[in-house]
Structure 1
Amino acid sequence: MTGTESHRVRGVVSSLLASVLFGAMFYLYGVVDASAESQFGWRMIVTVLCYAAALVTMAGRRALGELWTVLKSAWWMTVVLVALSAMVGFQMWLFAWTPGHGYALDASLGYLLLPIALVLIGRLFFRERVSRLQWVAVVIAVVAIAAKIAFTAAVSWVTFAICIGYAVYFMVRRHTQLDLPATFGAEVVILLPVAIPFVLFAPAAMTTGGAIAVIAAGFAGTLAMTAYLTASRLLALPLFGLLTYVEPVLMFVVALLLGERLNALDIVVYGLLAVALTVLAVDGFRASRGSSAVEGPL
């Protein structure tokens, strides 16, 4: 096996591991006897501890130095970092809150729409080229959501909060050059003043098993994010983008396991989105022809 093939295999395994861990976390958050605030708080604390341990390595210190250089470039960069922290913090709280409150399907729909939203963000704000197949996928997704609105007069706020909120988050990170390996760790550190009171004062797990599950989910989240970032470095972007669709599919399955049910219109909507994602997948494979995997992590 060549070095490039080895990187690709490692990248695919890392991406699938991240998706499975995120899916397992989503399920745990739906069944564990703890509040979303307590779950969120423990995830932040565990993540900070893991990132602090990473600073022992030379790569970790180099990544922190890169972030510090960007933050020193302008006084308002710190303000942007705090805003990014608030945005991603809300998303991680929402990830913990939705499965236990009957919004798991709406959350999975938001994550399924996120790739479409990112295509539009790239075109409108970064003047990136959008292929014909990507436009076809966008049109299909718009038709799916339009049908849901037309026949139900509403789409859950959770769906829009995820697909639009995350799209704006990624757009701001990229525009301000804060799309760096150490940025997420810094964002979580900023969230600690919120996370610690959540753990101390929010309703916690009622049983020892529940408390263990919450902390385990925190470690799973850190491992999943590490695997996700590893995959992003090892894989060509088209293949990496395709594999990120596994997570919302698993979330959709988890929603059904948690007892949520599809109606006839939902089947049509999710069916159309499946077609849209298939179109994006075909476009990704076409774009990846002749491309090679990115070299291994720093």
Structure 2
Amino acid sequence: MSAPASPNSPPGVLFNVLGSTLFALLYAYTSLLQPLSGEAIYGWRMLMTFPCLTVLLLLTGHGHEVRRIAGRLFSERYFWAQRLLSAALLGTQLWLFMWAPVNGYGLDVSLGYFLLPISMVVVGRLAFRDRISRLQGLACGLATVGVVCQIVIAGAVSWPALLVCLGYPGYFWLRRVTDTNNPGALWFDMAIGLPVSLFFVLKGGQWLPPGSPSALPWLILGLGILSASALGFQALSAPRLNLTLFGLLIYVEPVLLVLVALLLGESIAPSQWPTYLAIWLAVLVLIAEGVSALHQARGPGALVRAPGQT
């Protein structure tokens, strides 16, 4: 039995926002890793993140989750297949996040993250009957307006955008229905994907490209620490939020990605301002939701189990 937890606790919101902030920094960090390819950056990210995540798991007392999942591999018939599917879904998303910025698909992935919370809301309502507050409904409506504007501007939804907005909801749905919505399961998913990561790193026949700067190994180490911290905070937030609020909070990340792009010298076209203004208004509404949840948490009331907890 997992410990009862508030379905929308203030620590969950804080962990989620911290994770989104670190992911935005990670997005900008890729520009420091030349001459590595997008595939090599992904491979190094996974190889360096895994030991950092292991240390984080031990320091935060989540090692027992790994042992529990390992035991289920032998006691449940199809649990191994569920873990393989979960690892594939996660690995695909982490690869795309590293590959897109250096291959001209950064905006397409950003659109996918704009679409993602809406698809998460749909999954939360249909699969777990998550309740939507008025403020969450208003935020979702504003975000929908922004996404519609972006689709009209772009003319179509690209495959990277669809991969993000359809793949991530499937991943988080699987974690909840298999009772693996915890950092230990994240560790297992990454462990399963390590052979693929090693293949990408050694694809060119050696660990680093010829003529790489001397600082590159240290930058790769920083990549792992940053990535492990971002994934860790996100994993810690998931059990403390219902799927609907977890999905809506994902809007924090693409907004931060836009700010990173602006700091790197990019600019927002005049025709795109309606999209970004609608998204930012949705984020402000979510901030109001978080303040409201904080006040409610200070009042009396019993804790309620989060969806997917047993």
Please give the TM-score of this superposition, normalised by the length of structure 2: 0.77
Q: Name 1:22's counterpart in structure 2.
A: 23
Kindly indicate whether residue 49 of structure 2 is the aligned counterpart of residue 47 of structure 1. yes
Q: Give 1:82's match in structure 2, choosing from 72, 81, 84.
A: 84
- Per the alignment, do residues 136 and 24 of structure 1 end up closer, same or farther by CA in structure 2, a change over 3 Å counting? closer
Q: Name 1:223's counterpart in structure 2.
A: 229
Kindly indicate whether residue 279 of structure 2 is the aligned counterpart of residue 273 of structure 1. yes
Identity %: 34
Q: Is the 8 A contact 2:115 2:147 kept in 1?
A: no
Moved more, 119-128 or 146-155: 146-155
Q: Which amino acid aligns with 1:264?
A: P
Q: Name 2:291's counterpart in structure 1.
A: 285
Moved more, 171-180 or 223-232: 223-232
Q: Name 2:215's counterpart in structure 1.
A: 209
Q: Give the SS at the match of 1:159.
A: helix
- Per the alignment, do residues 50 and 86 of structure 1 end up closer, same or farther by CA in structure 2, a change over 3 Å counting? same
Q: Give 1:110's match in structure 2, choosing from 112, 131, 138.
A: 112
Moved more, 256-265 or 118-127: 256-265
Q: Which amino acid aligns with 2:107?
A: L
Residue deviations 1:171-229 (CA, integer Å, cap 9, x gap): 11112212122111111111111111111124845323334323321121112323444
- Per the alignment, do residues 131 and 262 of structure 1 end up closer, same or farther by CA in structure 2, a change over 3 Å counting? same
Residue deviations 1:49-79 (CA, integer Å, cap 9, x gap): 2344567679344121222344345221111
Q: Is the 8 A contact 1:26 1:99 kept in 2?
A: yes
Q: In the TM superposition, what are the counterparts of 1:101-180 in structure 2 within 5 Å?
A: 101-180=103-182
1:231 Cα offset (Å): 5.5
- Per the alignment, do residues 156 and 255 of structure 1 end up closer, same or farther by CA in structure 2, a change over 3 Å counting? farther
- Per the alignment, do residues 57 and 97 of structure 1 end up closer, same or farther by CA in structure 2, a change over 3 Å counting? closer
Moved more, 44-53 or 179-188: 44-53
CA distance in 2, matches of 1:109, 1:259: 19
Moved more, 160-169 or 131-140: 131-140
Q: Name 1:36's counterpart in structure 2.
A: 38
- Per the alignment, do residues 167 and 30 of structure 1 end up closer, same or farther by CA in structure 2, a change over 3 Å counting? farther
Q: Give the SS at the match of 2:182.
A: coil
- Per the alignment, do residues 176 and 208 of structure 1 end up closer, same or farther by CA in structure 2, a change over 3 Å counting? same
Q: Name 2:6's counterpart in structure 1.
A: none
CA distance in 2, matches of 1:283, 1:11: 13
CA distance in 1, matches of 2:110, 2:166: 13
Q: Give 1:96's match in structure 2, choosing from 95, 98, 121.
A: 98
1:254 Cα offset (Å): 1.8
Q: Is the 8 A contact 1:45 1:195 kept in 2?
A: yes
Number of aligned residues: 286
CA distance in 1, matches of 2:150, 2:13: 34
Please give the TM-score of this superposition, normalised by the length of structure 1: 0.80
CA distance in 2, matches of 1:51, 1:152: 37
Q: Name 1:200's counterpart in structure 2.
A: 202
Q: Is the 8 A contact 1:84 1:173 kept in 2?
A: yes
Moved more, 214-223 or 251-260: 251-260
CA distance in 2, matches of 1:240, 1:127: 14
- Per the alignment, do residues 176 and 240 of structure 1 end up closer, same or farther by CA in structure 2, a change over 3 Å counting? closer
CA distance in 2, matches of 1:176, 1:99: 33
- Per the alignment, do residues 70 and 291 of structure 1 end up closer, same or farther by CA in structure 2, a change over 3 Å counting? farther
Moved more, 254-263 or 169-178: 254-263
CA distance in 1, matches of 2:268, 2:57: 46
Moved more, 17-26 or 177-186: 17-26
Q: Give the structure with the larger helix fraction.
A: 1
CA distance in 2, matches of 1:20, 1:58: 20
For structure 2, which runs of at least 5 residues remain unmatched after alignment?
A: 1-8, 304-310
CA distance in 1, matches of 2:277, 2:100: 22
Q: Give the SS at the match of 2:104.
A: coil
CA distance in 2, matches of 1:103, 1:283: 32
Q: Is the 8 A contact 2:121 2:248 kept in 1?
A: no
CA distance in 2, matches of 1:63, 1:187: 13
Please give the root-mean-square deviation of Cα atoms over the aligned residues, in Å: 3.3
Residue deviations 1:127-174 (CA, integer Å, cap 9, x gap): 222233333333333333233333442133323322222122111111
Q: Name 1:3's counterpart in structure 2.
A: none
